[in-house]
Amino acid sequence: MSPWDPTVARLTWHSVLGRRRALVLLLLPVALLALCALARALAALEGGDAEVSDALAVDLLAGFGLGVLMPLLGLIAGTGVIGPEIDEGSIVYLLTKPIDRFTIVLTKLGVAVAVVLLLGVLPVAASGLVLTGELDLVTAGFTVGALSGGLAYCALFLLLAVVTRHAVVVGLIYALVWESVVGQFVPGVQNLSAQQWSLATVVGVFGDDAERLELSAAVGPATGWVLLVVVAVGSTVYAGLRLRRLRLGAEV
């Protein structure tokens, strides 16, 4: 079994970025970069020191970058690479081929991750640069966090799209209600939040500087990494298994 099929990748890439949906996807990184540019401009206006304070940079990147951009991008990319095809039934043209189902899932995950890299991780890194003016610890930390979180979100939401036709709504409820709203009131929930896990990896990169930068996560860095890897690998394996027994319009 090969983990990658170029034709599957091309078809998937075409269906994700081929049309207007690309605009919605662009909105997210543009919003983040605009915010960071604004912060930088305000800081410049205020005084001679053109850099934004590290604490503010961390706030922005954690709040908007890891808190809003990555989950939404992961949701759109993760469900977008397979959901519409299952829904419309055109996935049948991939499934009636002598290709291992895991190859299909891994290739589609690869495309989703590429989208997230391009429109999520890169903009986060660029925002870090814009905010701090240098390739420092803050930028590096959040790039790692965005990458680890993005990977887990893609895998998780891809699985969701294979399992249910209401993947987008369920995913939104997870990302918005579970991670944000419920997480605020019930601290235990934060232990089960991919956003907190990716924050934990950022804390891990910061090491002893995390306290100075006023960044904390609900779980430790090691736990965060382990949970992210478990979720990513587990979701992918299960998605492959579910795709094997995918029912297509099996109305009675």
Partner 1 sequence: MTEQTRAGTVIHDIGYRHYDGPRLTTRQIERALFTETVRAAFGWGRSARSKVMPLLLLASTCLPALIICIVISVVPLVDEVPGGYPSYPFSVQVALAVFVGSQAPAVISKDLRFRVAPLYFSRPLSRTQYVRARYAGMAVALFVLIALPLTILVVGALLAELPWREQVTAYLTAMGGAALHALVLAGIGLLIAALTPRRGLGVAAIVTVLLVLSGLQATVTALAEEFGASTLADLGGLLSPFALVDGTLGVLGADDASIRAPGLDEGLGVLYPLLVVLVVAGCYALLVRRFRKVGIG
Partner 2 sequence: MTTVRIHETSRWFGNVVAVNDVTMEIGPGVTGLLGPNGAGKSTLINLMSGFLAPSSGTVELDGRAVWGDEQVYRRLGLVPEREELYDGLTGWTFVLANARLHRLPDPAAAARRSLETVEMVDAQDRPIRTYSKGMRQRVKMASALVHDPEVLLLDEPFNGMDPRQRLHMMELLTTLGDQGRTILFSSHILEEVEQVATRIEVMVAGRHAASGDFREIRRLMTQRPHQYRIRSADDRRLAAAVMAEPCVSAVELVTGRDGTTAVVVQATDFSAFVHALPVLASTQGIRLHEVLPTDESLESVFGYLVAR
Contact residues: partner 2, CB under 8 A: 5-8, 10-11, 14-15, 18-19, 88-90, 92-101, 244-252
| CA neighbor of 60 nearest in space, from 45, 43, 85 | 43
Give the residue, chosen from 22, 26, 27, 222, that forms a contact with partner 1 under the rule CB under 8 A: 27
Window contacting partner 1 (CB under 8 A); options: 121-129, 130-138, 164-172, 209-217: 164-172
Residue closer to partner 2, measured from CB, 88 or 211? 88
**DSSP 3-state of 218:** coil
Q: Which of partner 2, partner 1, none does residue 100 bind to, with CB < 5 to 8 Å depending on kind?
A: partner 2
Give the residue, chosen from 83, 149, 150, 221, that forms a contact with partner 1 under the rule CB under 8 A: 83
Q: Is 173 in the site for partner 1 (CB under 8 A)?
A: yes
Helix axes 6-17, 21-46, angle to 10 degrees: 70
- By CB under 8 A, the count of residues binding partner 1 is 39
First-residue to last-residue Cα distance in the chain: 34
Q: Is 35 in the site for partner 1 (CB under 8 A)?
A: yes
Give the residue, chosen from 11, 57, 60, 210, that forms a contact with partner 1 under the rule CB under 8 A: 60
3 state SS for 149-175: HHHHHHHHHHHHHHHCCCHHHHHHHHH
Q: Is 43 in the site for partner 1 (CB under 8 A)?
A: yes
Count the Cβ atoms, other than its own, within 10 Å of residue 59. 16
Window contacting partner 1 (CB under 8 A); options: 40-48, 106-114, 144-152, 215-223: 40-48
Q: Is 177 in the site for partner 1 (CB under 8 A)?
A: yes
| CA neighbor of 197 nearest in space, from 55, 74, 53 | 74
DSSP assignment string, 220-250: -HHHHHHHHHHHHHHHHHHHHHHHHT---S-
Q: Where are the alpha helices (DSSP H) in 18-136?
A: 21-46, 54-60, 70-80, 83-88, 92-95, 101-116, 122-132
- Which residues bind to partner 1, rule: CB under 8 A? 20-21, 24, 27-28, 31, 34-35, 38-39, 42-43, 45-46, 56, 60, 63-64, 67-68, 72, 75-76, 79-80, 83-84, 87-88, 165, 167-169, 172-173, 176-177, 180-181
